[in-house]
Structure 1
Amino acid sequence: MPIVQFAPFASLVQPSLWHKLTELKIDILKLSDAAVPITGSYSIGRSVKDRETGQEIALPCNLTIGSESFEEAHKPPRGSVFPVGTLKNYNTIEDFKAADKTTLFNYEAELIWDHILKTRDTAQLNRFLLITFADLKKYKYYYWFAFPAFVSKPAWEIGDEGWANAASEFNPEKLSSIHGQLQTQPTHLPYFLVKKEASGDVIIAPVEDYEKFYASVPPEAQTIAFVDPSADPSNPGWPLRNLLAYLRALYPATTSTVRILRWRDSEPPSPSATWKSQIGTLSVAAAASLSSERPSAVGWEKNPQGKLGPRLADLAPMMDPTSLAAQAVDLNLKLMKWRILPSLDLEKISTTKCLLLGAGTLGCYVARALMGWGVRTISFVDSAKVSFSNPVRQPLFEFTDCLEGGKPKAECAATSLKKIFPGINATGHSLSIPMPGHPIPSNPASLAQAKADVARLEKLIDEHDAVFLLMDSRESRWLPTVIAAAKGKIVLNAALGFDTFLVMRHGARASSLTTGHNGKPHQKLGCYYCNDIVAPADSLTDRTLDQMCTVTRPGLAPIAAATAVELLSSLLQHPDQLFAPAPPPATSSATASNPEDGTSSVLGLVPHQLRGFLGQFRTMPLVGAAYDKCTGCSETVLKAYEEQGFEMLVKAFNDAKFLETLTGLDKLFDESEAALESVEWEEEGEDDF
């Protein structure tokens, strides 16, 4: 009699599986190559009709997996079978190639065999194995499936009549009854028993009920059925192999000859069509050795060249470049969490909305560093246009941006960010910030414009979480300092000299200070103006060209910008964030990882001020206390702004002495002068030399 040939499983991997594996690898598995449970699905085999010849062409015996294969609660559509398996992902292509595939395969086969002997559970008969290597930079995925199936020695044979239409044994009414009973099952049975009742009805039961169900049924009247994923009329699907091994292992006395029903009908056929299910009688030599030892198994899938070897899924050509970039840009950040900083909270950084006041040298470099940290909302404010001197120092501009008078800096910088990464939410706002020492003309149009500019700035600060002060002049930083302090925003300040820089974070509003996570009172940290004893004034008028421009060493701005962004990142990782205390100036890197003093985050220290000296290649951390007479952040100024609004601001813009009078700096100055005048100075005579 002819030996039974089985149609092997063919893997059908949905692209969504690779996207899900990428997330799993980066966010959960990281460097682990531990096995992960996975599920697949297969259904009744299907065929298509050749339009030219009219012949039915059997489709492959597919086992499908997708992103839902990692979901424990996922259930396949009714009519599909839900096999379980194991996925093992390797960290390198070398590990993937050198994997002990024999051991891995035998382990899965042993699991199937153990379930047969110990639990008699058929749910494990279709177990599969998938080994992978994910090249996440190139979006290439190497994979190899194994579908362990036990080898029968001697082989199973089929009677000379071969596979016949099931209607020859069961009339259409009985086949419809079988179909109806299958639909009532909680999950589709991959294997089931069929029995004819004395009444002529047919009933089904799980294969696990073999002994009870067939207690009084002779072997020749027993029908073992399985959902057949093969549409080949001659070759049954791969799941039959382990079903036969199951029957021989558990019921050797009655299963040397079995009648098999290949269930191949997902729906009852129309009246003019016939049922596709088939029935046939299989037999194996009764003298076949039977023991509890596991038979040998086969089942590694062949590649498209027909050889035993892995396959390759290259997703890069079929993916939208924007989607590719969106998944790749944060890869470096997520890799940090694998070995170095598992407690790093990237979401806190990526969801922080940053407002950059100034789109010049500092603004361009700050924006690039923020993108590197995964920040996705960046807004620029600047009133200037791109000039020919800008592109070589400001990396978001190029020569063509300078032509025809130059493009607006803020909008041009935002456009450049989108060219670098289309997924960024970048906007530019051409806006002139009113400043103390720069009086506003008294005509209605000028006042209305200044009021509108202030309102736009207030709205922008309100809509963002962190504000960077990156302007050229000292006085232009005053208004955003006041607004941001009143609204409780994080403020980062960066200022440049020739070979020195200052990077600092403004302290929180004094009235909002309570107690930190370490139980200690919050520190009263100062702002950019807390060390001043005069109000900010006009620093641009009557200045030579070198005095109006920030003349610095070319490498200074990138250093200061990167320092400011790193300070923000550290601040966001601190549990107190805006209220984070500053470490003492003498704190060294050796104590930076000590969380007990509350001055460090997972990224290290969170200093208040950093002064850099490029001439000495040195950076010095400093701490400055809040000043109750500060013209930028004192409660006197903030309350006056909140109560009087634009009217108070106009006074500060137009009257150089207003802020000094408001805060009491004028009295302090007078008292200091009076104290100096009251001192009796001894004049030194010639004889004293």
Structure 2
Amino acid sequence: MLCTNIQRSTMADNRTMPLQFAPFSSFLDGGFWHQLCHNKVNVYGLDDSARPINASYYNGDASGMPCRMSLEHSSFDMSSKTPSQYFRAEGHLYNKNTLEDFKNTDKKQLLDQEGAQVWKAITSGAALENTTQLSRLLLLTFADIKKYHFYYWFAFPCVCPAQDFTLVRPPQTLLQVFTPEQADQILERYREFQSRGKEGVAFFIIVEEADTLSVDTLASTERHMQKGHKVLFAFADPCTLEQHPGWPLRNYLALILHHWGSKLPCVDVVCFRYRSKAGTHDASHSLVLQVNISPMEDSDTSDLPKVVGWEKNERGKLGPRFVNLIDSLDPTRLAESAVDLNLKLMRWRLLPNLDLETVSRARCLLLGAGTLGCNVARCLLGWGVRTITLVDSGRVSYSNPVRQTLFVFDDCRSEPGGRPKAEAAAEALRRIFPGVKAEGVSLTIPMPGHAVPESAQQQTRQDVEKLASLVSAHDVVFLLLDTRESRWLPTVMAAANNKTVICAALGFDTFLVMRHGNQSYSAPSPSSQHNVPLNKVIAGDQLGCYFCNDVVAPGDSTRDRTLDQQCTVSRPGMSFIASALAVELLVSVLQHPERGCAPADTGDTDTGSDTDCPLGLVPHQIRGFLSRFQQILPASRAFDKCTACSHKVIEVFRSEGFEFLLKAFNEPHYLEDLTGLTAMHQETAQAEVWDFDDEDSFSSMEAT
């Protein structure tokens, strides 16, 4: 017969001894803290209310291992699956915003809240159907995500009846109570029982029916008792101590006491421990306990019993624990988190609608790695942009490092003539932030007015193809080049590929920052289809490009120029201002619901369009005058005879490709003839008299 060597006793037996439980030790891996930081910045913000989490414990540890409750990165995902031979516990995380809040939180109230859920599951019978409700956890945290310092206090809430549980006799092993054949039978039935469910069942029963042993659900207990079967209450025990059971037994005994205490003054409990080694399984080290239980008083069934469960710290006292992960985390990952932190703080403190993901995913092509290019790249890093490609044909000279912020003195002398600017700038970006995908490309951009001899046409074709592939592979093109004509080919390519273009240009004490219009080249020319009065907001698909205000084609701007005329001579602060505005203009465009087709704001509050973008206005142009510390926000429409973005130019570029470009490079008046500028000049020259109505005002005139 089963349990023949267990000597029954009554509660009055003087030999009874108190039952002691091995508490859980929390184990929170680095992935948990990473996910907590992510959630704090991206999900929780300043909301410190309860958040659901899950954890797991294992009942197959080797002797000497502590009774562990493990949390990892998946603990925040309530749909995550528990690994085989692990058992699930669920509860709540309370992440406080300050260390003072963490210290001043009412710990008893939190523990009672979690314990009340356990007690409700016990008294309602829900825990009989879903035994996971007997295993709850509570985690109180404060995360200093700037320093990667974490304060935490873990609890496993257990309800405690008024009277302590006692043992009838010292614990015995499974083989001291059962024969080896019976132990093997229990092990086999246990494996079959656990394999039937999607996740491990931590609380179950072992049933003796005649000479047969089986494992069944806790919900079937009453049915087996009514049939006269002997029932042993069993649970997956995470403890490895020889004389003591693990912490989950506390709530289990409270459930047994509540439902069967009046029928069973003494129960048999199997602390099932399941070890795997070298392909074999062993449960012989499991403990069998005889526990005295007594009926609860009537008040106990309605009132919440005492709840315990706070974990002791490293000094063995009730108190929180502290972990510093700054030295153990990957510096690159730390940098990535730190770069995003300021931006995400902006979002959940000030701008909840800020779409940082769109900004970070933007692939930015910077044409020009000089004064503007360096500063634009640095500002893009600040906004979290992860993909930056710089293009330049120059080398770092001795005059560059003081004005161009990505270069240092060694870049001037490390190679003959200096290091290539684009490569040096990209390397500097990676040193500043290893998480950026920065690439430098040394490339000469062919230009109108700069003739290409036949001997150089093959190289020019390769340069054009390389530039075309770069424009195609990026979302945003920044025009940060020195000369006007160097901006022409990228403008044409970007227009043909419908890319967002941000242009910045410097004078001595003036600057221009603008975005190009996102025209639809599958439709008729905007000027022939639309007639928008100048005093109205201009739609984003009707805005002009950098060349739309020109009535001549771009040519060689360096010919017959003195040194000061060939170089960009500007007040030193100009590039910082213009570069910052160029990046901020891009971010505003990306935040607008219509993106590149956002209408042009001019600062006129009557338009009401400033509310469409969470960052404010989205202008077409920003023209600054540093001598007067003044800025204006003009807007102009696309010019149907523009030599860069007009429908005629894009149509011929798409159909003729490189042959069209050769004509533009080699023939001085080709673009003017193609677009109709030549005919317009002739018509203007033939007009001898301009008639004006005296009553007309200049504000009512429309200029190209």
With the length of structure 1 as denominator, give the TM-score of the two structures: 0.90
AA in 2 matched with 1:635:
H
Aligned to 2:555, which of 532, 537, 545?
Answer: 537
Aligned to 1:395, which of 398, 401, 405?
Answer: 405
Aligned to 1:376, which of 358, 361, 386?
Answer: 386
Q: Tell me the percent identity.
A: 45
What's the CA shift for 1:439?
A: 2.1
Q: Secondary structure at the match of 2:87?
A: coil
What's the CA shift for 1:336?
A: 2.3
Establish whether residue 67 from structure 1 lines up as the match of residue 77 from structure 2. Answer: no
Aligned to 2:622, which of 601, 607, 610?
Answer: 610
How far apart are the structure 2 equivalents of 1:367 and 1:419?
13
How far apart are the structure 2 equivalents of 1:67 and 1:240?
27
- Where does the alignment leave 5 or more consecutive residues of structure 2 unmatched? 1-15, 531-537, 692-704
How far apart are the structure 2 equivalents of 1:677 and 1:283?
116
Aligned to 1:91, which of 68, 90, 97?
Answer: 97
Establish whether residue 10 from structure 1 lines up as the match of residue 25 from structure 2. Answer: yes
The residue aligned with 2:300 is: 291
Q: CA RMSD in A?
A: 2.6
The residue aligned with 2:686 is: 674
CA displacement, residues 151-182 of structure 1 (integer Å, 9 cap, x when unaligned)? 3443222234x111222332222222222332
AA in 2 matched with 1:84:
E
The residue aligned with 1:412 is: 424
* Contact residue 59 and residue 236 of structure 2 kept, 8 A: yes
Establish whether residue 300 from structure 1 lines up as the match of residue 315 from structure 2. Answer: no
What's the CA shift for 1:659?
A: 1.9
Establish whether residue 224 from structure 1 lines up as the match of residue 233 from structure 2. Answer: yes
Establish whether residue 182 from structure 1 lines up as the match of residue 187 from structure 2. Answer: no
AA in 1 matched with 2:17:
P
What's the CA shift for 1:359?
A: 0.5
1:506-521 map, 5 Å = 506-509=516-519, 511-512=521-522
Establish whether residue 570 from structure 1 lines up as the match of residue 588 from structure 2. Answer: yes
Q: Secondary structure at the match of 1:40?
A: strand
What's the CA shift for 1:20?
A: 1.8
Establish whether residue 163 from structure 1 lines up as the match of residue 174 from structure 2. Answer: no
How far apart are the structure 2 equivalents of 1:344 and 1:133?
26
How far apart are the structure 2 equivalents of 1:153 and 1:15?
40
The residue aligned with 1:22 is: 37
AA in 2 matched with 1:588:
T
Aligned to 1:646, which of 658, 677, 685?
Answer: 658
AA in 2 matched with 1:10:
S
CA displacement, residues 56-75 of structure 1 (integer Å, 9 cap, x when unaligned)? xx211111111222222323
* Contact residue 176 and residue 268 of structure 1 kept, 8 A: no
The residue aligned with 1:191 is: 203
The residue aligned with 2:479 is: 469
Aligned to 1:104, which of 100, 110, 115?
Answer: 110
How far apart are the structure 2 equivalents of 1:522 and 1:592?
12
How far apart are the structure 2 equivalents of 1:641 and 1:189?
69
AA in 2 matched with 1:587:
D
How far apart are the structure 1 equivalents of 2:277 and 2:338?
48
AA in 2 matched with 1:456:
K
- Is 444-453 or 528-537 further displaced after alignment? 444-453
The residue aligned with 1:685 is: none
The residue aligned with 1:203 is: 214
What's the CA shift for 1:302?
A: 0.7
How far apart are the structure 1 equivalents of 2:274 and 2:653?
78
What's the CA shift for 1:238?
A: 0.9
What's the CA shift for 1:591?
A: 3.5
What's the CA shift for 1:237?
A: 0.8
* Contact residue 513 and residue 522 of structure 1 kept, 8 A: no
Q: Secondary structure at the match of 2:521?
A: helix
The residue aligned with 2:456 is: 446
1:326-337 map, 5 Å = 326-337=336-347
- Where does the alignment leave 5 or more consecutive residues of structure 1 unmatched? 49-57, 596-600, 680-689
* Contact residue 232 and residue 270 of structure 2 kept, 8 A: yes
The residue aligned with 1:482 is: 492
How far apart are the structure 2 equivalents of 1:354 and 1:545?
32
How far apart are the structure 2 equivalents of 1:637 and 1:191?
77
- Is 104-113 or 282-291 further displaced after alignment? 282-291
Establish whether residue 428 from structure 1 lines up as the match of residue 440 from structure 2. Answer: yes
Q: Secondary structure at the match of 1:379?
A: strand
Establish whether residue 552 from structure 1 lines up as the match of residue 570 from structure 2. Answer: yes
CA displacement, residues 533-580 of structure 1 (integer Å, 9 cap, x when unaligned)? 111122212222221111111111111111111111111222332222
* Contact residue 224 and residue 231 of structure 2 kept, 8 A: no
Establish whether residue 587 from structure 1 lines up as the match of residue 604 from structure 2. Answer: yes
The residue aligned with 1:598 is: none
AA in 1 matched with 2:542:
K
Q: Secondary structure at the match of 1:318?
A: coil
Compared with structure 1, are the counterparts of its residues 124 and 334 closer, same or farther at alpha carbon in structure 2 (3 Å cutoff)? same
Aligned to 1:657, which of 669, 673, 676?
Answer: 669
How far apart are the structure 1 equivalents of 2:178 and 2:346?
64
Moved over 6 A (4+): 268-274, 285-290
- Is 259-268 or 540-549 further displaced after alignment? 259-268
Compared with structure 1, are the counterparts of its residues 180 and 475 closer, same or farther at alpha carbon in structure 2 (3 Å cutoff)? same
What's the CA shift for 1:462?
A: 1.5
Compared with structure 1, are the counterparts of its residues 522 and 542 closer, same or farther at alpha carbon in structure 2 (3 Å cutoff)? closer
Compared with structure 1, are the counterparts of its residues 182 and 474 closer, same or farther at alpha carbon in structure 2 (3 Å cutoff)? same
How far apart are the structure 2 equivalents of 1:522 and 1:491?
12
The residue aligned with 1:494 is: 504
The residue aligned with 1:237 is: 246
With the length of structure 2 as denominator, give the TM-score of the two structures: 0.88
* Contact residue 274 and residue 283 of structure 2 kept, 8 A: no
Compared with structure 1, are the counterparts of its residues 337 and 513 closer, same or farther at alpha carbon in structure 2 (3 Å cutoff)? farther
1:75-86 map, 5 Å = 75-86=81-92
How far apart are the structure 1 equivalents of 2:283 and 2:189?
19
How far apart are the structure 1 equivalents of 2:578 and 2:283?
79
AA in 2 matched with 1:188:
G
The residue aligned with 1:634 is: 646
How far apart are the structure 1 equivalents of 2:305 and 2:82?
31
Compared with structure 1, are the counterparts of its residues 8 and 500 closer, same or farther at alpha carbon in structure 2 (3 Å cutoff)? same
How far apart are the structure 1 equivalents of 2:282 and 2:465?
76
Q: Secondary structure at the match of 1:317?
A: coil
CA displacement, residues 396-422 of structure 1 (integer Å, 9 cap, x when unaligned)? 000110114211101111111111111
Q: Secondary structure at the match of 1:619?
A: strand
How far apart are the structure 2 equivalents of 1:268 and 1:586?
74
* Contact residue 466 and residue 492 of structure 1 kept, 8 A: yes
Residue correspondences, number: 656
CA displacement, residues 413-463 of structure 1 (integer Å, 9 cap, x when unaligned)? 1111111111211111111112222222x3x43222222222221221121
Compared with structure 1, are the counterparts of its residues 273 and 582 closer, same or farther at alpha carbon in structure 2 (3 Å cutoff)? closer
How far apart are the structure 2 equivalents of 1:349 and 1:155?
61
AA in 2 matched with 1:46:
D
AA in 2 matched with 1:531:
N
What's the CA shift for 1:636?
A: 2.2
The residue aligned with 2:632 is: 620
What's the CA shift for 1:269?
A: 11
* Contact residue 205 and residue 213 of structure 1 kept, 8 A: no
What's the CA shift for 1:241?
A: 1.5
Aligned to 2:54, which of 12, 30, 39?
Answer: 39
What's the CA shift for 1:529?
A: 1.1
* Contact residue 273 and residue 283 of structure 2 kept, 8 A: no
What's the CA shift for 1:390?
A: 0.8
